[in-house]
Amino acid sequence: MDSAVSDPHNGSAEAGGPTNGTTRPPSTPEGIALAYGSLLLMALLPIFFGALRSVRCARGKNASDMPETITSRDAARFPIIASCTLLGLYLFFKIFSQEYINLLLSMYFFVLGILALSHTISPFMNKFFPASFPNRQYQLLFTQGSGENKEEIVNYEFDTKDLVCLGLSSIVGVWYLLRKHWIANNLFGLAFSLNGVELLHLNNVSTGCILLGGLFIYDVFWVFGTNVMVTVAKSFEAPIKLVFPQDLLEKGLEADNFAMLGLGDIVIPGIFIALLLRFDISLKKNTHTYFYTSFAAYIFGLGLTIFIMHIFKHAQPALLYLVPTCIGFPVLVALAKGEVTEMFSYESSAEILPHTPRLTHFPTVSGSPASLADSMQQKLAGPRRRRPQNPSAM
C-alpha cells in the first residue's frame, strides 16, 4: 500500500516532483487548501459510487458477473504479502535502473488503466447513446488445444458501445503514456479505486476488521518505521496514487508541486464502507445509517490525517486515522441501536452473494489497491455475459 498523504510544500519533494538542488517556494495557503480539498473530494467519489455499484454487482445472477470475495484467511495474509511485495519493489528500485522498471510498469498500467476506465464509464456512457444507435455484439475467444482437450483462455463478449468506451479510454491511456500528466494519472487512479470498491467484497464485518487492523499496523510501520514506502511511492511512476498540485494557481496545468494520496487509503476503507451499505440493505429498514456513518467517519479520518500532516510537515499513514474512525463510528452506532450482534453475524456472501467465488490469491504488483487491480484485471478480462445496466438507487 502506498504512502497515505504526502505534504510536499515548503521545499519538500515528497510528491515526486523534479528536484534540482534548489528549494521550492512555499505554496500559498489558497493552493494548499485547494490541493487538500481536491484530494478529499477525489477520494470520496469512488467510495460513494463504488459502494452503490457493489450492490448491483452483488445482485448479479450470472456467476461470471460475481465479485471477488475476501475471506478472513485472505485478510490475515494480505498485510504480510503486501509487505514482502513493497520491500521487493524497494530493493528492485535500488538495484536496477528505475527508468526501465517504470517503462515496463507504464505499459502494464496503460493496458490495465484503459480496461478499468472503460468499465467505469460504460454505465454513464450508455445513457448518451440514442435508441437508434447500431449496437452489435462481438466475442473475443482464445482457446488452447483441440477436441475434448480444448480449453478457453479468453472469452470476452462486448458490443459496439463497449468499443466506443474503450476508444475514449485509449485516448486517456495514450495521454498518460506520453506525458504522465497528473490529470491522466488521476483518471486512471479514480477508475482503479472505483472498480476496486465495486468488485472486491468482504464477506463479513469481522473480516473487514481483520483486514483494516492488519493494514493499520502495516501502514504505520512502513511510513514511520522506515523510508521504504515513501521511497517506492516517489519512484513508482504508475497511477497508484491520486495527486493534486499545490501550485496550480501559480503554474496552471503544468504545476509540479504535488500532494498525494495512495489508492490503498481509498479502496481498503472503501470496501468496508461498501460492506456496511449491503448490511444496511439486508436490514430492510429503508435506511442507510451505517453507510452514512462510515462515510462521514472516512471524511473525518482523512481530514484529521491532512490536518496532522500539515501541522507536523511529514507524510502520514492515513490508515492510522481512518481505521479507528471507520470501524469505531459504526460500532458505536450499532451499540446505541442494539444491533451489534446483527452487524457481526451478517454474511454478505450468504445473503446477497450466494455463489460468489472466493478470492484465493493476492496480486503481486504492489502493496496497494493498485496491486489489488490484478484481481480486478481478471474480472475485466474474463468471460462475461451481458446484462441490463440498471442504475443503483439508495
Q: What is the pLDDT of residues 136-171, one digit of tens each?
A: 888 888 888 887 788 888 777 788 888 999 999 999
- What number is the average pLDDT over the span 225-247? 87
Q: How does DSSP assign 10-48, residue by residue?
A: TT--TT-----SSPPPPPPHHHHHHHHHHHHHHHHHHHH
Dig out the grid coordinates for 390 from the structure. 440498471
> Does the active-site annotation cover 265?
yes
> What's the average model confidence in pLDDT over 288-317?
92
Domain limits for position 53: 29-129+136-345
Residue 85's Cβ-side half-sphere holds a number of Cα atoms within 13 Å equal to: 20
**In terms of residues, how long is the chain?**
394
Q: What span, in angstroms and rounded, lies between the C-alpha atoms of 174 and 169? A: 9
Residue 369 included in any domain: no
The predicted pLDDT at position 66 comes to 66
Beta bridge partners of 139: 157
* Beta strand 137-144 pairing with 151-159: antiparallel
What would the pLDDT profile of 320-367 be if each residue is shown by its tens digit? 999 999 999 999 999 999 999 999 999 876 544 443 344 444 443 344
3-state secondary structure of 372: helix
202 — phi, psi (to 5°)?
-80, 140
pLDDT single digits (tens) 32-82: 999 999 999 999 999 999 999 999 887 765 444 568 889 999 999 999 999
DSSP 54-89: HHHHHT-SSGGGPPEEE-HHHHHHHHHHHHHHHHHH
pTM, 2 dp = 0.80
If one counts every other C-beta atom within 10 angstroms of the C-beta of residue 35, the result is 28
Residue 362 forms part of a structural domain: no
Q: How many CA atoms lie within 13 A of 287 on its CB side?
A: 5
Q: Could you read off the pLDDT of 263-287 as tens digits, one per residue?
A: 999 999 999 999 999 999 999 888 8
Q: How many CB atoms lie within 10 A of CB 146?
A: 8
| Residue 379: per-residue pLDDT | 47
Q: What is the pLDDT of residues 91-143, one digit of tens each?
A: 988 888 888 888 888 899 999 999 999 999 988 888 888 888 888 888 888 88
* Average pLDDT score over the chain: 81
Judge whether 1 lies within some domain. Answer: no
- Sort residue 366 into left (φ over 0), alpha (ψ -120 to 50) or beta: beta
Q: Rounded to an integer, what distance in angstroms lies between the CA atom of residue 202 and that of residue 263?
A: 18
Which of 74, 247, 265, 280 is catalytic? The answer is: 265
Residue 355 φ then ψ, to 5°: -130, 30
pLDDT at res. 62: 47
Mean pLDDT of 199-203: 92
Instruction: Say what the pLDDT of residue 120 is.
Output: 92
Q: Which three cell numbers, joined as nine digits, stand for 226? A: 522506515
Is the confidence at residue 294, as pLDDT, over 80? yes
Other CB atoms within 10 Å distance of the CB of residue 125:
15
Are the C-beta atoms of residues 117 and 191 closer than 8 Å to each other?
yes
Rounded CA separation 368/318 (Å): 13
**In-domain check, residue 9:** no
**3-class state of residue 394 by DSSP:** coil
The verdict on residue 22 lying in a domain is no
What is the rounded distance in angstroms from the CA atom of residue 107 to the CA atom of residue 92? 18
- The DSSP element (H or E) to which 348 belongs, if any, is helix 348-351
Burial of 290 (0-12, 13-18, 19+ CB in 10 A): buried
Please write the tens of the pLDDT for every residue from 354-369. 433 444 444 433 444 4
Please report the beta strands in the chain, taking only residues with DSSP state E, as ranges in sequence order: 5-6, 68-70, 137-144, 151-159, 200-202, 241-245, 258-262
For residue 11, report the phi and psi dihedrals to the nearest 5 degrees.
90, -5
User: What pLDDT, on the 0 to 100 scale, is given for residue 357?
Assistant: 40
Average pLDDT estimate for 174-203:
93
Residues 95, 100, 103, 108, CA torsion sign = negative
Residue with cell 510528491: 15
User: What's residue 350's pLDDT?
Assistant: 52
Residue 252 lies in a domain: yes
Higher pLDDT, 161 or 370: 161
pLDDT for residue 128: 85
Options 219, 256, 280, 374, the catalytic residue: 219
The answer to whether residues 200 and 68 touch, using CB atoms and an 8 Å cutoff, is yes
Q: Are 302 and 318 in contact (CB under 8 A)?
A: yes
How many CB atoms within 10 Å of residue 323? 25
Percentage with pLDDT > 90 across the chain: 47
Are 289 and 261 in contact, with CB atoms under 8 Å apart?
no
132 vs 214, which has greater pLDDT?
214
- Give a yes or no: residue 334 inside a domain: yes
| pLDDT above 70 for 205 | yes
CA pair distance 392, 49, nearest whole angstrom? 9
Query: Per the domain annotation, does 330 fall within a domain?
Result: yes
Look at the chain and report how many structural domains it folds into.
1
CB 317 within 8 A of CB 4: yes
Active site residue 219: yes
What pLDDT score does 341 carry?
93
Residue predicted with more confidence, 34 or 237: 34
